[in-house]
Every structure is written in structure tokens, then in C-alpha cells.
Amino acid sequence: MSKLTKKQKKIAEMLEGFTQPCASAVEAIKKLQEISKETCKFNETVECHMALGIDVKHADQQVRSTTVLPSGLGKTVRVCVIAKGVKATEAKEAGAEEAGAEEIIDKISKGWFEFDTLIATPDCMGMLGKLGRILGPKGLMPNPKTGTVTLDIAKAVKDAKAGKVEFRADKQGMIHVPIGKIKFTADDILKNYVTLADAVLRAKPSTSKGIYLKSVYLTTTMGPGIKLDSKNVAAEVKENIQ
């Protein structure tokens, strides 16, 4: 059995006596901030991981949606828009780094990926079809379900810039979503967490039976996972949601 590193020992000491599952998300957030300050030299990303009581084999139990985190993600989101004419102009005015049609599709086909989010108008999706094998594996293919195929280009660009995140249950029924940076205030991280939790609760399939939220963990890039009391999530969302 391998010995614990100096950092692992420090984390274990800081978690000693800390109750898990933790009933309060803000208590967990403050503990993660305390640990990060003592053990990490960079601004870690805070992540939320949820195990859902769904059967992903059934199409009517898929969980996939988006939400805009009120405190943002703590990073600059580069937005590229595939659109023509007036819509391309709207995209640039809303803050998109790149906007255009054929010329951008040609750049992407040659390996250009200087963007984090790709948005398209419905009339341009036909042109993007040939890039499905390139964009799909990277999670960049625009999709109406996530609001990235739309005529309301300005709103889509502003939402992406403001901290819009997508959550989607994987094959194990798990959701993994970044909810900000550890150097945010605890209140700002909490706002992002309850916004995400509220969206996930609202996305519960009507055909899902039994316990929906099986487990919820908050963690950081290099830190420990802190388990929350999943039975208390709905109440905490109701208490804190704006």
C-alpha cells in the first residue's frame, strides 16, 4: 500500500472531523476554499458531480439541458458563430470573436479551433453537417436542445459569454459540470451551485422512478470530493435560488 504524500496528509488532517455527507453546500464550499488555499498554488476550478437515478438506456429518461450560471465561470469564453449577413453582424455586435459562414467552416475543416462555443443559425446547419465527425467528438456541434442552433443569435452569444453551461447525463447517469473558480466568494460559488441544482431538478424525466438525486459531490481540480446530503438539495435550492 502506497504512502500518503505530504499534500494528501494535509488534506486528510483538514477533513478530520468534517461531517460527510454535508447538509450545507456553503459549508462544503468554504472547506474546499480552506483546503485549496493551503495546498494549491493556482485558481482551481470548482466542479459539481451528480449521480442520477435514471435509466439512460431509455430515450425518455435522458437528462440534457443548459443553464446560465449567475456568477459566470471565471474565464473568457470564445464564441464563434456560423451565420450569414445580418445575423453575422448581430453576432459580432453581441461580442462573438468570429462570425461568418463558408470561410469559417473552411477554417474549421483545416483544423482551426480557436473557440470554446460554436453557435449557428438554422439555415447554416446544412453546411456544418460535413464537419460532424470533427465537431461531434469535441462536443462543439451546435444543437437546438442546448440553444446553440437559433435565430436569436445575440442572446445566444451573450448567454455563452455570461457563463452558460450544458449538463448531460453520461452512460452511468452521471453529470459533471464546472461551477466557477475556487477564488470566487463562497456566495458566488453557492449561487452557481444552486442554479445548476435547480436546473437539474427541473430536468427530471417524468418517467424516472425512485430516488432522482442519488449522490452529489463538490470538488476542485486537485482537491478532495466533499459529499453533500442529496436529500437536502431541493430545500437548499428553494432557500437560495433567486
pLDDT in tens, 3-40: 778 888 999 999 998 888 988 999 999 999 999 999 99
- The DSSP bridge partners found for residue 165 are 67
pLDDT in tens, 194-231: 999 999 999 999 998 889 999 999 999 999 999 999 99
pLDDT in tens, 160-204: 999 999 999 999 999 999 999 999 999 999 999 999 999 999 999
Q: What contacts 19, CB < 8 A, 6 or more positions away?
A: none
Share above pLDDT 70 across residues of the chain, in percent, rounded to a whole number: 99
Whole-angstrom distance, CA of residue 228 vs CA of residue 242: 21
pLDDT in tens, 110-158: 999 999 999 999 999 999 988 999 998 888 999 998 899 999 999 999 9
Cα 217 to chain centroid distance, Å, stands at 14
- The DSSP bridge partners found for residue 68 are 164
Whole-angstrom distance, CA of residue 23 vs CA of residue 10: 24
pLDDT in tens, 64-120: 999 999 999 998 999 999 999 999 999 999 999 999 999 999 999 999 999 999 999
Helix axes 186-202, 233-240, angle to 10 degrees: 120
DSSP tag of 39: H
Q: What is the pLDDT of residue 122?
A: 96
Per-residue confidence band for 242, with pLDDT thresholds at 50, 70 and 90: low
Q: How is 68-134 classified by DSSP, letter by letter?
A: E-TT--SSPPPEEEE--HHHHHHHHHHT-SEEESHHHHHHHHTT----SEEEE-GGGHHHHGGGHHH
Residue 60 has pLDDT above 70, yes or no: yes
Closest to 183 in 3D by CA, of 88, 42, 27: 42
Region 48-66: what's the mean pLDDT? 93
What's the pTM value of the predicted model, to 2 decimals? 0.87
- Residue 99 to residues 133, 139, 210, Cα–Cα distance (Å): 21, 19, 46
